[in-house]
């Protein structure tokens, strides 16, 4: 597609808005969805060509665009100002939150590491620092509530086991799952991760609370202590 080709030059049924009205949003490509969000292109470049160029610069992955800070996005894509950059990033973030909300509406049982990862992933994706979260569960393994128990730097997070136990007792939790992210994307448990897990498991056991899993979140993937036989 030529950089100068405008949406107005396309046949009516090929224009993103008309296509969406006729066939639904699911019929649009990523670039076409982005074009609707942007509305217009920039000087010398039509909006569809602009969106295809942005996608190509991020390997065709919307998740990589979502993880780019607005200031960096503006630097990477000349001609795009703060208004357009923030409009796009906000649109992608809404999509992420909508997907997360759909999972929560189903009130799923945390019966697998995959279910737990999908439920908690919105809290831990695309962070440039470590965070430690606890998901407290009812006896039927449905969520009670989640809370952030610690936040740190690039490689470590300070976690107070007493705080975790206090919150679990207040919530009358029957079980819990613990989570933290590795900003580097590395999916392996460090000796510190294993030592902290043992402390939490031992403390929880004293109160009759089961720790079902410790999940380490990387780049849209995860490592499960339970699945690896460590819990």
pTM for the complete prediction? 0.66
pLDDT of residue 60 exceeding 80, the answer is yes
Instruction: Please check whether residues 93 and 158 belong to one and the same domain.
Output: no
pLDDT of residue 2 exceeding 60, the answer is no
Instruction: Please check whether residues 97 and 175 belong to one and the same domain.
Output: no
Mean pLDDT of the 117-123 span: 91
- pLDDT score recorded for residue 217: 94
Instruction: Please check whether residues 67 and 118 belong to one and the same domain.
Output: no
Residue at which a domain ends, from 57, 76, 102:
102
Average pLDDT for the chain: 88
Instruction: Please check whether residues 98 and 49 belong to one and the same domain.
Output: yes
Closest CA to 91 of 39, 19, 135: 39
Say if CB 156 and CB 130 are below 8 A apart. yes
Instruction: Please check whether residues 90 and 118 belong to one and the same domain.
Output: no
Q: Out of 50-64, 147-161, 169-183, 211-225, which region has the weakest mean confidence (pLDDT)?
A: 147-161
- pLDDT score recorded for residue 39: 85
Question: Cα–Cα distance between 208 and 203 in angstroms, integer?
Answer: 9
Q: Which domain holds residue 136?
A: 109-224
- Dump pLDDT digits (tens) for 128-187: 889 999 999 999 999 999 999 998 865 567 899 999 999 999 999 999 999 999 988 888
Residue at which a domain ends, from 102, 122, 144:
102
Please indicate, yes or no, if residue 37 is contained in any of the structural domains. Answer: yes
CATH number of the domain residue 144 falls in: 3.40.140.10
Domain count, the chain: 2
Instruction: Please check whether residues 128 and 198 belong to one and the same domain.
Output: yes
Please indicate, yes or no, if residue 231 is contained in any of the structural domains. Answer: no
Residue at which a domain ends, from 54, 78, 102:
102
- Dump pLDDT digits (tens) for 19-39: 888 888 888 899 889 988 888
Instruction: Please check whether residues 98 and 117 belong to one and the same domain.
Output: no
Closest CA to 52 of 38, 68, 70, 66: 38
- pLDDT score recorded for residue 3: 45
């Amino acid at each position: 597609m030529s950089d100068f080709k405008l949406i107005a030059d396309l046949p009516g049924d090929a224009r993103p808005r008309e296509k969406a009205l006729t066939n639904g949003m699911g019929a649009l490509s990523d670039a076409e969805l982005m074009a609707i969000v942007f509305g217009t292109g920039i000087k010398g470049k039509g909006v569809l060509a602009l969106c295809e160029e942005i996608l190509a610069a991020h390997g065709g992955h919307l998740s990589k665009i979502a993880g780019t800070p607005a200031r960096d996005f503006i630097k990477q894509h000349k001609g795009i100002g703060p208004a357009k950059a923030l409009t796009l990033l906000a649109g992608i973030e809404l999509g992420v939150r909508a997907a997360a909300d759909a999972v929560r509406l189903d009130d799923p049982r945390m019966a697998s590491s995959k279910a737990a990862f999908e439920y908690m992933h919105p809290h831990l994706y695309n962070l440039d620092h470590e965070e430690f979260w606890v998901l407290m569960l009812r006896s039927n393994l449905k969520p009670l509530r989640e809370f952030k128990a610690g936040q740190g730097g690039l490689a470590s997070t300070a976690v107070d086991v007493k705080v975790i136990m206090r919150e679990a007792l207040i919530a009358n939790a029957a079980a819990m799952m613990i989570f933290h992210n590795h900003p580097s994307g590395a999916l392996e448990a460090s000796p510190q991760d294993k030592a902290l897990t043992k402390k939490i498991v031992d403390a929880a056991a004293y109160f009759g609370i089961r720790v079902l899993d410790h999940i380490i979140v990387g780049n849209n993937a995860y490592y499960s202590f339970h699945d690896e036989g460590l819990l």
